Amino acid sequence: MSGKLNFGSVEIPLSEGAEWTKKYRDSKEVTGEGKITGYLIPLDALKLVLDQDIDAVRAYKGINNAGEETLIFVGTKLDPETGIYRDVFRSGANETAKTTAGGAVVYDTSRPVPPFGDPASPLE
């Protein structure tokens, strides 16, 4: 990856989004009972990660202490020398940390879909 990314338009038609989610649900990655097709993300988590001096947000997949698949959000900042978006961690005292040591925090309150989905949504 080199330089600042051009993400293009962040808006796509709902019909295209419905096609994308169907392709994912039908893919080999999503099989069996308990498959996760999305995440409910509380606004509080997004506000905390966005309230940093960052260029983008990275979401890592994990399994929380309740055994649920989850997303872990980390702010990123473009390193102009390397063209890499570097993870930025905030300390528990809300100060940005350059390293993962010393009580740095990441953000998670996402919940898996299903069961936290909208059965009436065209994206389900």
pLDDT in tens, 7-55: 677 788 899 889 988 888 887 666 666 688 889 998 988 898 899 999 9
pLDDT tens digits, one per residue of 72-82: 999 999 999 99
Whole-model pTM: value is: 0.75
Which tokens sit at 66?
């309740």
* Model confidence at 120: pLDDT above 60: yes
> Has residue 77 been placed in a domain?
yes
> Has residue 19 been placed in a domain?
no
> Has residue 120 been placed in a domain?
no
Query: How far is 56 from 46, CA to CA, in rounded Å?
Result: 12
Q: How far is CA 71 from CA 42, 54, 74, 111, 119, in A?
A: 11, 18, 10, 8, 21
From 122, 88, 86, select the one nearest 105 (Cα to Cα). 88
> Has residue 16 been placed in a domain?
no
**How many independent structural domains does the chain possess?**
1
> Has residue 15 been placed in a domain?
no
> Has residue 33 been placed in a domain?
no
